[in-house]
A and B are shown apart, each in its own frame.
Chain A
Amino acid sequence: MSIMKLRDPSRELAMRVLTEVDFEHRLNGFILRERAGAVPISMYSFKEVVSLLDDPQPRLDFKQLEEWIRSVMGDTELAIHIAQAIRKGNNDQERTYLIGDLLGERLNQCKRLI
């Protein structure tokens, strides 16, 4: 299952992606484990979201993520790709992989640029 490649980000976008956000703009998710339950994770940066999605059992409201990418990161292109991945994935596990790959790719692009 492949998703369209992302164009190279602008320097301005790359800076935003690599910068921590303030409290109001944090994103909340969870990681799950047997017995320990659902551990809440507050994320203040793009790379923390990438890290969360790399966990074996992450939980994230992808619609909320799409909106966060669009409005907080200002990355319209990535938000569109996430919306596509939400539609394309048959379940949240597949969506996690698709979106995780997308975000990972964007993070690498930004790191290369800065």
Chain B
Amino acid sequence: MNGYAGKILRINLTDRKTSTIDTRDYEQWVGGHGMGSAIFWDLVKDKTISGFHPDNVVTIMTSPLSGTLVPGASARTEVQGIGVQSSPIEWFTRSNFGGRFAPMLKYAGWDGIVIEGKADKPVWIDIRNEEVKVKEAQHLWGLDTWKTQEEIWREVSGRGYDKWVELDSEQRTTQRPAVLTIGPAGENLARIACLIHDAGNASGQGGFGGIWGSKNLKAISVIGMGGIQIADPKGLMEARLWAQVKYGTDLKNLDASWFSKFGRKKPQNRFWDPHESARLQACIGCHLGCKERTNTGFGNESTCHETTFYTAYDKSKHGGRQTSATYIATDLLQKYGINAYEASRGLTYIRALQRMGIFGSGKRLNCDLDFRKLGEIEFANEFLKMIAYRRGIGDDFAEGFFRAAKKWSRLEEDLKTGILPYSYWGLPEHGYDPRAEVEWGYGSILGDRDINEHDFNFLFWWPSGAIWAGKTPQPPAGQVVKIIAEKLIPYENNPLMLDFSTDNIYSEHMAKLVAWHRHYTRFWKESVLYCDHRWPEFINSKVPGYSGITGEGEPRFFDVVTGKKFSFLDGMELGRKIWNLDNAVWTLQGRHRDMVHFSDYIYHLPYGGSGNYAMYHLPGREKGRWDYIRVNGRYLDKTKFEEFKTRFYNLEGWDSRSGWPKRKTLESLGLKFVADELEKNKKLGAG
């Protein structure tokens, strides 16, 4: 089995026994999400249980590419199980994180970990190559995520984490174990608690931190010294060189490489000011390095949304000058193990309530947080501590701010006015609002969570920045959609799939884009585990004609590692199969098309207030001509969205009256056993 370790570790926390699953039993699902969904399907008989139920199974999966030299595909780990964050149903869901964990797990000889049951008291799992021990964790319980990792590093090395780790008389290493852990938020069963690895890698969505807390599982540590069999090592090196030469950044001519995902490029997705002195930091095997290690020790490895949590408050408090409060507040998120989106949107929300005069000391929603100190470290620490330790009204925050609003009898009103910006499934909006970038919103509401898959976001970022600055976005919209459309197999060469004009966003073309996105990500990004930061690459400015690596690159790397002959289309089809399996789980959990709708504000509040200023642009047709059109100022039409759902369900071969899978569709995908189970539960779609 080239690319695989060959076995999956199964741990039952209830009796603390371990066993193995032969990876071959699930090889048809390839890895990551596909394997995780299939294992979950087999092991969780009653899929309607709460995520906190001991019978909930959490899978932690790698892929055949994990730990290899495939660029941007070595280090992601896929986490799945019934989540506890979404509402009204705790959907079977997923999350994903980078760093060193997946490669180290492979080097230790495991393709994944399956967690079952519940320990009677706190434990941690110590994996050293083949040796697996479930150990007492009383001494770790109560520690934050960083201190927990330091303690485990010391314990594994026996002499301090800066010393050799000796696994037996012949094997020793200076590598530190890769540790995945929860902080106090997880211990206290917060539905918005994360799993944290190293300084800033988080499995954030789904509330898996709280789920681990409910299982009394504090951490998993793994250190391995093995290798991974590659089917065609020479072919892998040739593929790397091909990618670098053809698609990589041209360091001698950076202007020509203004868009390349294969080469050194200064990370841009930070909201805070750049550190004065920092170096790039990368996940294992990554050619880029999107994170940083800093000379101050603040803000290490944090990137993207968690860096926005406190920046604006800090600057506003300190006369426009950013202080260390910004970095430290983000570090606290990581240490307590709290979902950054919930913390950010939640803080915005309670501040609105405070300004309305109903939240604060002695108010109807009593809280001692002193908003005069907003922007200071002290405030951030108090706010996050309230969540992590469920102090005072923080007990409500820890349930997620959607559930908090419901408890406070404010949910309906605040979703109508939009002051609670939770668009779908009781989850916070990401920054790609469904009213503007519809493929993100549609994918989220038709799935289980905020998708957090950035495949098409450059279509917003390029023109929105250029037009705001008075420049003409390049390449022109018509050229860009043509290049991308060529790659949207099996719906290729239909540029209308990328028409974000209001006339087109409810069309079958848009349904195809959403379906393509679901299938692509389910397989290539969540099962093969290509990093969302680097893949797909539709456009590459260095290549004549601007056509990026996607379509050719994904299967080429996959095939040289595994020795399989797997086409891009094969991957899309397997992605569709996995997506159908997931939808079957959601159906068993209670999903029906009648509950598939956005929060009220999405249907009547114009996004961004008005469409009178340059804010959000996407490709679209106006009077038959392609351009980058302004989409702020619009909202979704509820009736038309219902029509869109019907188109989408028909496209997927699902029953358009219920959204449930049909036997014919499932059997055509080799999922007869799924159809049988749905029929037994009276949840099989008609037709």
Contacts and interface: CB of A to CB of B under 8 A. Distances in A.
Contacts of B352: 23, 26, 42
A60 B613 contact: yes
A106 interface: no
Interface in A72-114: 90-94, 104
Given A51-B315, A60-B613, A42 B351 contact: yes
12 contacts: A22-B355, A22-B356, A23-B357, A33-B308, A35-B268, A36-B304, A37-B430, A41-B312, A42-B351, A48-B316, A59-B468, A63-B613
Contacts of B344: 39
A45 B351 CA distance: 13
A31 B608 contact: no
Given A33-B268, A34-B268, A93-B470, A28 B312 contact: no
Given A47-B316, A52-B312, A22 B357 contact: yes
A104 B614 CA distance: 22
B457 interface: yes
Nearest to B304: A36
A93 B430 contact: no
Interface string A6-49: 00000000000000111100101011111111111110110110
Nearest to A64: B609
Contacts of A64: 609-610
A92 B640 CA distance: 33
Interface in B455-474: 457-458, 460-461, 464-465, 467-470
B433 interface: yes
Contacts of A71: none
Given A22-B357, A28-B609, A33-B271, A38 B615 contact: yes
B355 A23 contact: yes
B271 A35 contact: no
A26 B613 contact: no
Nearest to B273: A56
A44 B355 contact: yes
B315 A54 contact: yes
Contacts of A42: 348, 351-352
B308 A31 contact: yes
B614 A92 contact: yes
Contacts of B469: 91-93
Given A40-B421, A54-B320, A91-B470, 8 more contacts: A20-B355, A22-B356, A23-B357, A26-B355, A30-B608, A38-B615, A39-B308, A55-B312
A37 B457 contact: yes
A32 B608 CA distance: 12
Interface residues of A, number: 41
B464 A35 contact: no
A51 B320 contact: yes
B610 A61 contact: yes
Contacts of A26: 352, 355
B612 A63 contact: yes
A37 B460 contact: yes
A47 B457 CA distance: 31
Contacts of A94: 470
A35 B468 contact: no
Contacts of A69: none
Interface string B301-343: 0001100100010011001100000000000000000000000
A26 B353 CA distance: 12
B270 interface: yes
B28 interface: no
A31 B312 contact: yes
A35 B270 CA distance: 9
A29 B268 CA distance: 20
Nearest to A27: B609
A55 B315 CA distance: 10
A47 B454 CA distance: 33
B269 interface: yes
6 nearest A-B residue pairs (beta carbon): A37-B431, A91-B470, A23-B355, A35-B269, A23-B356, A93-B469
Contacts of B614: 59, 91-92
Contacts of A57: 465, 468
B41 interface: no
Nearest to A57: B465
A30 B615 contact: yes
B40 interface: no
Contacts of B470: 90-94
A26 B354 CA distance: 12
Interface in B212-271: 268-271
A32 B464 contact: yes
Contacts of A36: 269, 271, 304-305, 308, 431
Contacts of A39: 271, 305, 308, 344, 431
Interface in B412-439: 421, 430-433, 436-437
B374 to A, nearest CB: 10
A51 to B, nearest CB: 4
Contacts of A31: 271, 308, 312
B612 to A, nearest CB: 6
B320 A92 contact: no
A40 B221 CA distance: 38
B389 interface: no
Between B344, B351, B457, B608, the greatest number of chain A beta carbons within 10 A of the residue's beta carbon is seen for B608
Contact of B316 (A51, A59, A62): A51
A63 B316 CA distance: 22
B208 interface: no
A55 B273 CA distance: 9
Between B269, B312, B344, the greatest number of chain A beta carbons within 10 A of the residue's beta carbon is seen for B312
A51 B271 contact: no
B397 interface: no
Interface in B158-203: none
B454 A35 contact: yes
Contacts of B533: 35
Nearest to B458: A34
